[in-house]
Amino acid sequence: MRLLLMSNSTNAGEEYLAHGIGEIGKFLGEKKVTALFLPYAAVTFSWDEYEKKVRKKFREAGHDVVSLHHAGDEAAAVREAEAIVVGGGNTWHLLTVLQKKGLMPLIRERVRAGVPYIGWSAGSNLACPTIKTTNDMPIIQPQDFNALGLIPFQINPHYLDANPEGHAGETREMRIREFLKINPGMYVAGLREGTMLRVEDEKMSLIGEKPLRLFREGMKPVELTAADPLDFLLLTQ
């Protein structure tokens, strides 16, 4: 499999996908690819708008996208996709739409067969075994929480180390520890903004200047940098 799993689309003070479009271009290669875009995490703006926004950036990298919501035969579009791109937004809405369309097994099959997969935020959540470590409010109820299971560990995108000043509620780490108490044995990768994971078959690397914070029940959280080996996470169950 080939996966590029990004924490976020936009860094503070930067344009949309500015920090990631170079890596997306390298990931897809020099030959132009027209990727199939899944816009279903968008809730407060149209899927047409989302497609237009993503297409603009992909064209800067020498590639293109076409959104799945235009397809007359959605299953055929997935089967014929050169690459699959899943944008961020609300993970619950994204999963619910794909489940209702019956496309989850087919997407999983195509990516496992080698079709490149790019996701950011909700799109990265979708690559996990479940969506249980998303930060998003459950605005809609999916059939279940099961995601694509392309990787055997969970990602928490937009990972933050502390709460805003004056806020006395739970930290992100506390929320992850709650998940781990109920799901012992599972790893959770706290993926900070501006970073991403690139998977090439059985190899995985961290891209970006910030470290990844790795959690597991009974284990002290570990900070891993781009120089550290991460392949072991692909072998966990």
Mean pLDDT of the region 171-176: 94
> What's the whole-number average pLDDT of the chain?
96
Closest by CA to 155, choosing from 225, 101, 45, 234, is: 234
For residue 222, pLDDT beyond 70 = yes
Please confirm, yes or no, whether 228 is among the known catalytic residues: no
Task: Give percent of the chain with pLDDT exceeding 70.
Answer: 99
pLDDT tens-digit map of 120-167: 999 999 999 999 999 999 999 999 999 999 999 999 999 998 777 777
Active-site annotation holder among 19, 136, 201, 205: 136
4 vs 14, 16, 116, 126, CA distance in Å? Answer: 20, 17, 8, 12
Q: Is residue 182 part of a domain?
A: no
Q: Is residue 222 part of a domain?
A: no
- pLDDT at site 164: 73
The tally of domains found in the chain comes to 1
Please confirm, yes or no, whether 136 is among the known catalytic residues: yes
- Give the range of the structural domain holding residue 35, as residue numbers without chain letter: 2-160+192-210+228-235
Residue with token string 């929480």? 145
Q: How far is it, in rounded angstroms, from Cα 235 to Cα 237?
A: 7
Q: Is residue 165 part of a domain?
A: no
120 vs 5, 9, 75, 165, 230, CA distance in Å? Answer: 6, 6, 22, 27, 19
Q: Is residue 130 part of a domain?
A: yes
Q: Is residue 129 part of a domain?
A: yes
* CATH number for the domain that contains residue 81: 3.40.50.880
pLDDT tens-digit map of 79-107: 999 999 999 999 999 999 999 999 999 99
Q: Is residue 90 part of a domain?
A: yes
pTM of the model: 0.96
Active-site annotation holder among 73, 121, 205, 231: 121
DSSP 149-180: -SSSSEEEET--SSPPTT--S--HHHHHHHHH
For residue 16, pLDDT beyond 80 = yes
pLDDT band at 19 (very low <50, low <70, confident <90, very high): very high
Q: Is residue 185 part of a domain?
A: no
C-alpha angle 83-89-92 in degrees, rounded to nearest 5: 95
Active-site annotation holder among 64, 158, 201, 231: 158
Please confirm, yes or no, whether 64 is among the known catalytic residues: no
Q: Is residue 170 part of a domain?
A: no
pLDDT tens-digit map of 100-113: 999 999 999 999 99
Q: Do 67 and 47 form a contact (C-beta atoms < 8 A)?
A: yes
- pLDDT at site 233: 97
pLDDT band at 237 (very low <50, low <70, confident <90, very high): low
